[in-house]
Amino acid sequence: MKIVVREFDAEKDYQGAQKVEAMSDVGGSGSGISLTTDLLGDLTSRVRHSPPYLMLVAEVTYSEEEEETVRTEIVGVIRGCVKVVTCGKKTDTQITSTKVAYILGLRVSPNHRRMGVALELVTRLEQWFREMAGAEYAYVAIEKDNEASVSLFTEKCGYAVFRSLSILVHPVFRHHINTPRQVVIRKLESHQAEELYRLHFSTTDFFPLDINTILDNPLCLGTFLAEELGGESWAAVSIWNCMEVFRLEVTGVSKMKRGLAKVTRVLDRMFSWLKIPSFPNLFAPFGCHFLFGITGEGPLATDLLTALCTHAHNTAREGGCELVVTEVGSSDPLKSGIPHWNVLSCDADLWCIKRLSKDGGGVALWTKTDLGQTIFVDPREV
């Protein structure tokens, strides 16, 4: 048996790679409950909005001695994309930036695990990041409980955990939520949003310098600004339509629990004025919206952010989504303004980083410097 790692060929490899995706759900906790992802027929959908990007496959060739005919099988996949982001220490006049590569969608089929396939996929992707894309760092986000992946990246591949983020998830109810009267919410033009973000995130780690391409992407449903009537506080948030990129589905939940969840939704729809906090339908393929670019200033910034999240909830409801998701640094000062359900959220998304280039330079010690509390989470990488 020989394993070859090569670039994904959509025409030739789609079925094999899709099979690996379907077999390698992330989040199976041993309880039988898992989260499956449907990439809607485009296996590069989570990276192709951040060029340059690459998807690799690991292909096994079974030799004639092992089987009657030569047969090949895709047993692993990985994706990566590269961008320039702000980083490290800055002065008032100078912004430091670096080229970082993001690794995502690593999957190895259960029958071929612990054979070094993931290690080879990561090594080959890093080689491309370094030699072809000129990236200085590579990073990956891993759920704390994913022991296999944490061990792979931190023990075998030389990554260091540098940040813990919180994934905050709010259900979309069947009823509309009213926003407070004293709050004015308006949609910004994309150039206004760009200006605001370039100003406020200029010293935030991981702020992508191509923010304009994110804001102009059709998946970006807009940037919204909330202001307090007659006050000085404000908050802003942008909405990304993940529903057009992938659908999720929770499987392995008992019929009884699914039935109870449905009852809450039926009651919520029938008696919408009661504002029943119904449990969303996560047991059939569903879509979500992702909130990014969360920022604000003033004593009431968190309250205004809560109002913006309410607005985002209503937008998601109109768009047929079941969840509104966001991700912030665990100690982000605005975190308390983001409504979420703990049962659906994850408080330990570990960001692990590795320096790829060997030469010195201004950002050589980025991972060792004190990072700020706020971090920019790129919606293209969700």
Interface with ligand COA by CB under 6 A: which residues? 24, 26, 106-108, 113-119, 140, 142, 146-149, 151-152, 155-156
Which lies closer to ligand COA via its Cβ, residue 87 or residue 118? 118
Listing DSSP states for 258-279 in one string gives HHHHHHHHHHHHHTGGG---PP
Nearer to ligand COA, 21 or 303 (CB): 21
Identify which of residues 118 and 276 has a Cβ nearer to ligand COA in the complex. 118
Nearer to ligand COA, 71 or 156 (CB): 156
DSSP one-letter string for 179-233: PPTTEEEEEEPHHHHHHHHHHHSTTSBT-BTTHHHHHTSTTEEEEEEEEETTSS-
Q: Of 142 and 243, which CB lies nearer to ligand COA in the complex structure?
A: 142
Specify which residues 99 forms β-bridges with.
Answer: 84
Rounded distance between C-alpha atoms, residue 27 and residue 20, angstroms: 15
CB of 65 to ligand COA, least distance (A): 24
Closest CA relative to residue 162, chosen from 315, 369, 305, 309: 369
Between 248 and 316, whose beta carbon lies closer to ligand COA?
Answer: 248
| C-alpha span between 248 and 36 (Å, rounded) | 6
Q: To the nearest whole angstrom, how small is the minimum distance from the Cβ of residue 107 to ligand COA?
A: 5
* Nearest Cα residue to 311 out of 188, 184, 214, 193: 184
Shortest separation between residue 118's beta carbon and ligand COA, angstroms? 3
Nearest residue (CB) to ligand COA, 43 versus 188: 43
Task: Report the half-sphere exposure of 50 (CA within 13 A, side-chain side).
Answer: 26
Say how many CA atoms lie within 13 Å of 123 toward its Cβ: 11
Question: Least CB distance from residue 14 to ligand COA, whole Å?
Answer: 19
Please, what is the minimum distance in Å from the beta carbon of residue 224 to ligand COA? Answer: 31
Residue 333 preceded by cis peptide, ω within 30: no
Distance CA 108, CA 131 (A): 25
To ligand COA, the closest distance from the beta carbon of 349 in angstroms equals 10
**Do residues 348 and 142 touch, judged by C-beta distance below 8 A?**
no
Amino acid at position 313, single letter = H
User: What minimum distance in Å lies between the beta carbon of 258 and ligand COA?
Assistant: 25
The answer to whether the beta carbons of residues 347 and 168 sit under 8 Å apart is no
Q: Which is nearer to ligand COA, 20 or 169 (CB)?
A: 20
Count helices and strands in the chain by DSSP H and E runs: 7, 14
